[in-house]
Structure 1
């Protein structure tokens, strides 16, 4: 951190649209000058001396906390979260159409300990498939991607192996050497009429709505963290930054609801989302993310990503004022 009178906070975040008001200075953090570097991928906050905090993998953060590593302080602001039913892809000619059918399948994924893939494997487990009955291969979605720790730092199960150099998930799936791939991001050709791939589930939105009804949450993937020494120097920063992140999200939603012509069916999607989820499908706050955090801790242990049960209380130990006040009609109009 730097600055004589107003401390400067340097954060590394991907440019999620709900962060843009904060990134552009439209939303301010009282008492601090926040400078955000837009990143193409999730930064390793601890490895970068120039960062005071940033976007962090939920899985890697939870594992560090479980190991007693408190060098990062997590804010209950999950800037990346989403259902995982949509993340399973097959070839268009595949007979597979459900997670229940994946026993004995050859499944490729973009990273073994990754948060999103952990949530997707949880769906496979919930469908009654033993993860030990699946042959897992870990590698890049497309050939040439090298900027990721895909295997983690812990021993892998015997049925998990890394792809060879030059291989990719899309290439192996197209060639028929994989039956399914799990990916948080769709390959470019998925958006073309002649794509070789489709979703495993014929109606993933219906499955996702059912998941919401059963669990009450949308899975968290990445959260915002701050370095411990920064928090110790400025103990008011976490709560102040969290409030600004909430304000940024609220402003973004107001603008999105006003300017719906950016995507042909955005208005329908926003209306349906409000009907299903209420005013906020991605709530911030420790209490409102407690069930999701506990479920994730349980999955990391059940899947063997972490060897011991994880106490959810160690994950987000900081107390923050909540719930955040619902925006008034005047505030919503102002945001728009």
Structure 2
């Protein structure tokens, strides 16, 4: 403990401590008159000692400290709680402009007497609050732009879906009007390709998503659409879908949808040249991390009728090969008397081992 020779030494030390503090600091008596102020206080608020010492806080600087929030802190909160941290005051200070100040206050009572002083420290958080306001404005602007983007995308989806429906209808009308059977088949194939893209658009609209869609639901709806429009009559074909849980980007979904459409149409056309009561086409989709595997298989007559997808073929084959390459995948076809299977695997896909029973 330091032993002071007189009161002046103690006061000199106390003032030195006050001046050392980085943030502005005031020492007030119990009636809120200034007993001491730090050098930082004078520099920050551009006042001098002659106009500060001994003055009532509320009268400093032509009344710039007569702030209702500050009165509340000093006259109501401090007497009841003796201390308060983080009390924020926003005020327009002459010569400084609008400032946000964080106040920390402590009441110091000496012995058993009635005398007390109040230590009042200020931290200028104006820059922090300005950044927060800028972030808030930016966030609101971003939300507004995202909302506008969503509206525009919905409108675009609607227009694209309508355009695809119009194109599909025109292709069907042309197919019915032509006399060439080969041309009719080509137009019907083109119709199915358009419908596969339209199915993606419908699925995106229903799910409300534009970036990611659920694979199983999408492939099921796509194959259901193909089954209802291309199978039946003398040769009903059961199209089954087995897909693991997973989501893919809409651009990848379009490519997968077109591939499935081409392979399913190919199987419907060539795998069952004679009636087969158990005719079926299976579509499976497996996921292993970032890799995936798509398989379209049938139980038809096999390679004696079905052309190999990897070699030769017409427009459909070229479309499949181009889409597989675009997806960074590899294609493999196996065919025999029990049917044909076309496997498309992304990168180094390895099927997971079955769990032990």
Q: Report the TM-score range of the alignment, normalised by the length of the smaller protein.
A: under 0.3
Higher helix share: 2
Larger RCO (CA under 8 A, 6+ residues apart): 1
With the length of structure 2 as denominator, give the TM-score of the two structures: 0.19
Higher strand share: 2
With the length of structure 1 as denominator, give the TM-score of the two structures: 0.20
